[in-house]
Amino acid sequence: MRSPRVVVLDYGSGNVLSASRALTRVGGEVTVTSDIDVALAADGLVVPGVGAFAACMQGLESVSAPRMIDRRLAGGQAVLGICVGMQVLFDRGVEHGITTAGLGHWPGDVVGLPAKTVPHMGWNTVDSPTDSAMFDGLHDERFYFVHSYAALTWTQHAAHRGTPASVSWAEHGAPFVAGVEDGPLWATQFHPEKSGDAGAELLRHWLDTLR
């Protein structure tokens, strides 16, 4: 059985090398690129992201990533968003009073965490559905977070797989969306590539969906 071909999207934001190494270790054949043709031909596309929502959106638009992601999802091709790469999948991001349009795959806003201490940095548990494919065997594990913003609400909608998405939650000041499984579209607010053995197993679960 051949290794799944994975593109880690290089658009000027996100720790692409850490993501690439982590996916290679768990059996992916990884390419780091912004080439739209290579990204469309891959079995899976990873959209990483760090920093500001607006800057990430600007970087994504500079490499035609919104069109790339839309085309993949329209064809049922897998996409994995990580950290701000998850946040941009929502309708909007609100940072420092400025609202920036996101990719609009999920309804709702990404806003500041209502916590005494931000950023939320370090290890935290995740409350995931018992039938989650993403967290299969990982329900008691901790994952590594670094963020000051998150989606604090979830609105069910016309999902990518025709059934309601599976949503997982964590808490820092308030509950926030920590993971989503929506047909071919998966995302995590935490960094699986920095989450040790548990993160590696989660990435392996994602690769298994590509085979």
Instruction: State the catalytic residues.
Output: 83, 191, 193
Count the helix, strand and coil residues of the chain and give each as a percent rounded to the nearest 5: 25, 35, 40
Q: How many Å apart are CA 190 and CA 179, to the nearest integer?
A: 8
Nearest Cα neighbor of 78 from 1, 7, 128 is 7
How far apart (Å, rounded) are the C-alpha atoms in residues 126 and 141?
A: 8
From 32, 4, 29, select the one nearest 18 (Cα to Cα): 32
CA distance 92 to 122: 25
- What is the spatial distance between Cα 126 and Cα 140, in angstroms, rounded to a whole number? 8
CA 185 to each of CA 11, 89, 177, 196: distance values in angstroms, whole numbers, following the listed order: 19, 10, 15, 23
